[in-house]
Amino acid sequence: MENDKIKSWKMTKLNAPFELSESGFPEINEQEVIVKIAGCGVCHTDLSFWHQGVKTKHELPLTLGHEISGKIVAGPENLLNKKVIVPAVLPCGNCGLCENGRGNICQNQLMPGNDFDGGFASHIKVPHKYLCYVPESVLDKYRLAELSVVADAITTPYQVLRKSELQEGDFAICIGVGGVGVYGALLAKILGAKVLAIDINDTKLNTAKEQGIDAVLNVKGLNLREVKQKVREIAKDLKVSRYGWKILEMSGTAQGQELGFGLITFASTMSIVGFTMDKPNVRLSNLMAFDAKLIGTWGCKPELYDDVLGFIDQGKLKIKNFIQTFPMSEINEVFKNTLEHKYNKRSIMLPDFD
């Protein structure tokens, strides 16, 4: 059921009232900057806050949006006019988790559109410590707004691939190749895996195939036994090992999670990237029997963002075919259409005015 406070909120509204400086921007301290937003991607997490009753950490009303790119327009002089991506997870950098390389789950972290007002606005006030600076060479290939998807849709699957210890020649099975999953499949391919994309949407699967994914499988109407048989045949055709499969669940559905778990074999690693409030029915003892791993991921630690920008800069990762842009004033319609699965590409909202 929709959260009434968010339902009644007009999402074309800019950030909630601030104490303004003489410049007209919110007051900032020496650790903060004002970023003029170029684009903000629409994520399933936003839909969870808006429609599915998932609570934000900051009390409502709150401006959503955590997939942000833009230009610094106020802050330290050496940072002015820098083009940046705002990481969806901003760690503190000082706690035990941060010091042990787990800044993505820092318990003092700040997430735009969750802990503070986010990117469905014209500007955002944000700490600058972990901003990702975009090289001009990348901007020669993409508009800054298009790069907003780096903040979550691309970096989140990249982090989980790194955590899964994926090696060149591994068999990677990507369940759900929508706005996040397709990047997981493409990144697995870049890292040297043989990749199978699984979905129930032929358009998404055909797009993945056109971008070089090794094999695709539409599982609509198939039972688990039938899917497992087809996956084994594909694995044989691709000449990959029968063991050690890397399974990435990115559909954010209980059915996808149950399917992924059902595909676990000896020494497999299953990674959960998609989010759902539903509870799958699985037998956890399979992990014991197959000596397998089940891992999760939350966002991406900022130090990995440069890797992704490097793939884009080198032309290894192409993103234009997987994104579409809309004016911010259409955000209510875009949210509804996204909820109804009317889009096959990641939506990016653009402020209506400079």
pTM metric for this prediction: 0.89
How does residue 354 score in pLDDT terms, banded at 50, 70 and 90? low
- Give the long-range contacts of residues 223-231, CB within 8 A, separation 24 or more: 224/258, 224/259, 224/262, 227/198, 227/259, 227/262, 227/263, 228/262, 228/263, 231/173, 231/196, 231/263
Give burial (CB, 10 Å; 0-12/13-18/19+) of 81: exposed
Tell me how far the alpha carbon of residue 318 is from its chain's centroid. 16
Distance in angstroms (rounded) separating the CA atoms of residues 270 and 283: 14
* Residue 18: predicted pLDDT: 43
Residue 66, token pair as written in the block: 């955590």
Distance in angstroms (rounded) separating the CA atoms of residues 260 and 82: 42
Per DSSP, the residues of 1-42 read ---HHHHTS-TT--SPP--B-TTSSBP--TTEEEEEEEEEE-
The domain covering 4-152+300-350 belongs, at the CATH homologous superfamily level, to: Medium-chain alcohol dehydrogenases, catalytic domain (3.90.180.10)
How does residue 54 score in pLDDT terms, banded at 50, 70 and 90? confident
* Residue 185: predicted pLDDT: 97
258: part of which helix (H) or strand (E)? helix 254-262
Distance in angstroms (rounded) separating the CA atoms of residues 262 and 42: 30
Distance in angstroms (rounded) separating the CA atoms of residues 104 and 296: 12
Q: What helix, strand, coil percent values describe the chain, rounded to 5? A: 35, 20, 45
- Pinpoint the alpha helices (H) of 40-95: 44-51
Tell me how far the alpha carbon of residue 279 is from its chain's centroid. 21
Average pLDDT across the chain, whole number: 91
pLDDT digits (tens, 9 = 90+) for 144-173: 999 999 999 999 999 999 999 999 999 999
* Residue 24: predicted pLDDT: 67
The conformation of residue 112, written as its DSSP 8-state character, comes to B
Nearest C-alpha neighbor of 64 from the set 81, 52, 73: 52
Residues 6+ apart with CB under 8 A from 214: 189, 194, 195, 196, 238
Q: Which CATH number fits domain 155-296: 3.40.50.720, 3.90.1150.10, 3.30.365.10, 1.10.1740.10?
A: 3.40.50.720
336: part of which helix (H) or strand (E)? helix 331-339
How does residue 23 score in pLDDT terms, banded at 50, 70 and 90? low
What letters, b where the CB count within 10 A reaches 16 and e where it falls short, cover 134-171? beeebeeebebbbbbbbbbbbbbbbbbbbebebeeebb
State phi, psi for 196 to the nearest 5 degrees. -110, 125
Domain ranges of the chain: 4-152+300-350, 155-296
* Residue 86: predicted pLDDT: 98
Give burial (CB, 10 Å; 0-12/13-18/19+) of 321: exposed
pLDDT digits (tens, 9 = 90+) for 305-325: 999 999 999 999 999 989 999
Distance in angstroms (rounded) separating the CA atoms of residues 67 and 150: 7
Contact (CB, 8 A) for 240 and 168? no
Which residues make beta-bridge pairs with 269?
Answer: 246, 293
Distance in angstroms (rounded) separating the CA atoms of residues 30 and 35: 14
Q: What percent of the chain has pLDDT over 70?
A: 93
Distance in angstroms (rounded) separating the CA atoms of residues 299 and 127: 17
> What angle is formed at CA 245 by the lines to CA 233 and CA 293, rounded to 5 degrees?
145
